[in-house]
Amino acid sequence: MNILEVVGIAIKSRTYYNEAQLRMILDADRESRHRVYIPNSIFNDLVRCEEFKSRKANATHIAFAFSYLYLASYMYRYAHFTYYEDYVRENFIDDAVMYMICNTSPDSRGKDGKSYITKKDGVLAKLKYIRKVSLFSPYLNLDSTPLTPIQ
């Protein structure tokens, strides 16, 4: 199953992006970007998760969790964190865009919302499938590390 099949299952219903936009954002037309491997145990972990049970979450919450995790795995595997809109402006694929790719409102909060799944210390973080990091260095300072010639 490729990335468009996973996140595009709901393309026929009301969506935020059409198929052409998804292909552009995810750069999924390249033959080399068709495979993402995820262990089957994730399904068991999501279905057995106590937080889903205590919230009486329905199948759409579990499906969203899997789609979000699959999308995050795709982005990590292919180091794909930006896309170009109209071939001019570079945009970051942040949580809001990831929610919309998974066909969920980025404002999905509250009792029936899905933000509890992906937030810091949320369901996927507690299951140790994702880690939310806000402090990271976007630049590498090569001046601080002396380069030595290869012998």
Query: Residue ranges per domain, the chain?
Result: 3-144
| Cβ partners under 8 Å of residue 124, min gap 6 | 65, 68, 69, 117, 118, 130
- Render pLDDT for 10-64 as a digit per residue (tens, 0 to 9): 444 567 888 888 878 887 776 766 778 888 899 899 988 988 888 877 788 888 9
For residue 6, pLDDT beyond 80: no
Sign of CA dihedral 9, 106, 99, 97: positive
Considering the chain, what is the average pLDDT of its residues? 77
Closest CA to 32 of 63, 3, 64, 62: 3
pLDDT for res 106: 79
DSSP run (H or E) holding 68: helix 59-77
